[in-house]
Amino acid sequence: MKTDPKGVLTGEHYLDGDHACAEGALAAGCRFFAGYPITPSTEVAERFCSRIPLVGGIFIQMEDELGSMAAVVGASWSGKKSMTVTSGPGFSLMMENIGLAAMMETPCVVVNVQRGGPSTGLPTMVGQADMMQARWGSHGDYEIIALSPASPQESFDYTIFAFNFAEKYRVPVMVMMDECVGHMTEKVVIPPAGKIDVAYRTMTTLSPDKYLPYVPEKNLVPDMMPVGEGYNIHSTGLTHDERGYPVMSPDAQDKIVNRLVDKINKNADDIIMIEEEDTEDADIIVMAYGITSRVTMPAIFEARKKGLKVGFIKLITVWPFPEKRIKQLAKTAKAFVMPEINLGQVVLELERIVAGKTKVYHVPHAGGWVHDPADIYKAIEEAANGNKK
Amino acid sequence: MATKNNNVPEHPMERLLRMDRIPHIWCPTCGIGTAVSCFISAIDKFKHPHEKIAVVSGIGCTGRVAGYIKLDSFHTTHGRAIPFATGLKLANPDLKVVVFSGDGDLISIGGNHFIHAARRNTDITVVCVNNFIYAMTGGQCAPTTPLTANSSTTPYGNHERPFNLPLLASSCGAVYVARWTSLHIRRLTNSMHEALNKPGFSFVEVVAPCSTLYARRNRLGTGLDLLKFYHDSSEICHGADPTELDIAFQDKIKVGKFIDRERPTFIDAWNDNMKKKFGDKFDPYGEKKAKKAA
């Protein structure tokens, strides 16, 4: 489906990642934004609220992030593509209603411009330590989709992907930006509206008396119907049946929770997006995401100059994790090297998947700044020499 | 009157109740049921297409209301019914959105959302069933529990001053504020109907008995005794000064319509402001295109 041209600022721009994210949302057809100011994400809200009156939509600055996320879930049920943007402390507050969005199967996008944590941490400085929180920060079992842009252009592009995934899978989708990308200014090319593909939730074709809101289709995602159409929809955060009615039983729990997880995991091949470079015959594969995927490049160039066969995987989607592809590569690669601006989060998944087949060299960083490429180079060298970690 | 196959006449409220969910979970003599009956009568009178009405509840005994009403309805997270309703309403201004929840949900954990929605004059109707206690979790102290009343977390009597809900709502900017007990069937129904018709943040407090927890813990007799006591202790004071509406333990309860005034709603204010700023370039948000052409 082509997007509504009203929100598309076609042309070449010089934008930071935050502003590019707002433009991506508008280009994707987002017409509802609820948010609360927080560094380093506020510029997304500022851009959105300055643009939305003439695009045709609405913006509300809520009283806190609890309310922002709840309003986003409500707005999505009214049929509008909806989003919020925040950073660490706000992301923690949003977890409550991210869980509600997961349970009610509500399409929505949450952008987290990551800063250093825990708690107030480093408000103006980079971090990538909310990656596990993005996946499972709300209580209970569920799966989400998370993307990680490494440039303002990708911030624009991936925000559109995020809305498309949200609509297709009726799930909260996280754009896990980081402070560096949010505040980095680069060229951003916004294509003509006719070149921007957008998805929209599948509406039921059944009449109100036949439609049940939680009967899954073949892809495990139920068709939707917004409020106001006479369908008398009921949706609850409680464990529920196909009618959306609460059912307090282990059987109902088993059914709903497994489907919430399966609708992402069983469609993983359709969702997962990665970039690979020279991985097929690589001895060492470096894996990274977000700003770290760029910081890694000098280390890889240096290693290749020294004659090492180094491949590279950049995660566009971090969750779901590309388990199948990693398993294949683990058969041929001698080792993986993974830098990330945390003390070991996404790397745990890599280690789990390749355990017993190949080694993993983690390059941690507590946050506040990006890695020194020399540290990543050192890890590649160690991996090449087969040094024990 | 519509009849079923077995010739039993349909209950007049069945059209607006999810009968496949009955029996409900509320205790005998709980005041929530009558509040729901009054609400359905009010909806029946309300000249707004039923498919354009949505009901949102939070968590708790009253939080279960949304699940029994046969309209688009949402049972959300604890305290977040108002922001959820804000999203619903702002994303589709054609809707009439009603929040139906309890005192703990709306005023304690949801207190911040309550005051800001009133301040913004978000166009929603909020019905708060006030039973003076957290009932779903077993009778703990609420921000509405009267001084000295017993609860499971104030076993020696409540020492915290409770909120006066009409004062809170009116001081934050609500355009319509009323209070009744759950035995004021006709007056409560009328107030709910007026609130539904009022553009902006309208608020109706329903003082209701909790027989199982509040009445029992405080040795106030049965739920019916308490229902009657609240009704008989009430004094109708339309237009009363909201600062004089505190409720003391087993004392007089002032009821009536206290506030009925005009203020621009959130969307009206947005449209007025943008119109001033952008002139004809701005299409008023939420207004029908047909209306513009006319």
Claim to verify: residue A108 and residue A16 sit in the same structural domain? yes
Same domain, A70 and A173: yes
Scanning B73-123, the segments in alpha helix (DSSP H) are: 81-91, 103, 111-120
Does residue B81 carry a pLDDT above 80? yes
Domains delineated in chain B: 14-263 (3.40.50.970)
Residue of B67, B70, B282 with shortest CB distance to A246: B67
Tokens of A164: 């498309």
Interface test with B, best of A31, A49, A58, A138 (most B CBs within 10 A): A58
Residue A224 lies in a domain: no
CA gap A295, A150 in Å, rounded: 10
Q: Which of A135, A160, A195 is the last residue of a domain?
A: A195
Taking one residue from A and the other from B, the number of pairs with CB-CB distance under 8 angstroms is 157
Rounded CA-CA distance A376/A5 in Å is 43
Scanning B174-213 for CB atoms below 8 A from A yields none
Last residue of some domain: A131, A166, A195? A195
Burial of B225 (0-12, 13-18, 19+ CB in 10 A): middle
Same-domain check for residues A157 and A297: no
The pLDDT tens digits for B16-28 are 999 999 999 999 9
Q: Is residue A34 part of a domain?
A: yes
Q: How confident is the model at residue A316 (pLDDT cuts 50, 70, 90)?
A: very high
B116 and chain A in contact, CB less than 8 A: yes
How would you label A57-76 residue by residue, b for 16+ Cβ within 10 Å and e otherwise? bbbbebbbbbbbbbbbbbbb
The half-sphere exposure of A355 on its side-chain side, counting CA atoms within 13 A, is: 6
CB-CB neighbors (< 8 A) of B94 in chain A: 228
| Residues of chain B neighbouring A4 (CB-CB closer than 8 A) | none
**Across chain B, what does the average pLDDT equal?**
95
| Domain membership flag for residue A302 | yes
pLDDT the model gives residue B179: 98
Residue A239 lies in a domain: no
Report how far residue B287's alpha carbon sits from residue B278's, in angstroms, rounded to the nearest whole number. Answer: 16
Would residue A349 count as lying in a domain?
yes
* Statement: residue A212 has pLDDT above 60: yes
d(CA A81, CA A164): 10
Query: How far is residue A103's CA from residue A263's CA, in Å, rounded to a whole number?
Result: 12
Partner residue opposite B84 with nearest CB, options A58, A70, A245 = A70
Distance CA(B261)–CA(B194), nearest Å, equals 12
**pLDDT, tens digit, for every residue of A15-65?**
999 999 999 999 999 999 999 999 999 999 999 999 999 999 999 999 999
A56 min Cα distance to partner chain B (Å): 7
Residue A293 sits in the same domain as residue A189: no
Residue A388, pLDDT score: 54
* Domain final position from A195, A211, A239: A195
The 3-state DSSP class for residue A3 equals: coil
- Complete DSSP assignment for B189-230: HHHHHHHHHSSS-EEEEEE---IIIIIHHTT---HHHHHHHH
Please provide the DSSP assignment of B15-81 as one string. GGB-GGG-S-SPPTT-SHHHHHHHHHHHHHH--S-GGGEEEEE-SSTGGGGGGGBSSEEEE-STT-H
* Pairwise CA distance, residues A129 & A347, whole Å: 12
Tokens representing residue A199 in the block: 């998805």
- B88–A233 C-beta distance less than 8 A: no
Same domain, A283 and A149: no
- Contact between chains at A96 and B20 (C-beta distance less than 8 A): no
Residue A242 lies in a domain: no
- B139/chain A closest Cα distance in angstroms: 21
Task: Name the residue with tokens 């609220």.
Answer: A49
Position B225 scores a pLDDT of 96
Residues A20 and A158 in one domain: yes
CB contact under 8 Å between B278 and A77, yes or no, is no
Chain-chain contact of A68 with B282 (C-beta, under 8 angstroms): no
User: Burial, A7: exposed, middle or buried (Cβ in 10 Å; 0-12, 13-18, 19+)?
Assistant: buried
> Do A30 and A173 belong to one domain?
yes
Residues 44-103 of B with CB under 8 A from A: 50-52, 54, 56, 66-67, 70-77, 79-80, 82-92, 94-95
Residue A92 lies in a domain: yes
Whether A315 and A172 share a structural domain = no
Residue from A4, A63, A211, A239 whose CB has the most chain B CBs within 10 Å, to mutate: A63
CATH code for the domain in which residue A365 is found = 3.40.50.920
Structural domain contains residue A9? yes
- The residue among A139, A86, A141 whose CA lies nearest residue A109 is A86
Please check whether residues A43 and A185 belong to one and the same domain. Answer: yes
pLDDT band at B4 (very low <50, low <70, confident <90, very high): low
**Residue A35 is part of a domain; what is its CATH number?**
3.40.50.970
Closest CB from A74, A80, A96 relative to B85: A74
ipTM over 0.85: yes
How many Cβ atoms from other residues are within 10 Å of residue A187's Cβ? 11
Percent of chain A with pLDDT over 90: 98
Interface touch A97/B74, C-beta < 8 Å: no
Statement to judge: residues A189 and A306 lie in one domain: no
- Measured in residues, chain A has a length of 389
DSSP B104: I
- Domain count of the fold of chain A: 2
**pLDDT tens digits, residue range B159-200?**
999 999 999 999 999 999 999 999 999 999 999 999 999 999
Residues A40 and A161 in one domain: yes
B67, closest residue in chain A (CA to CA): A234
**Are A151 and A31 part of one and the same domain?**
yes
Containing structural domain, residue A179: 5-195
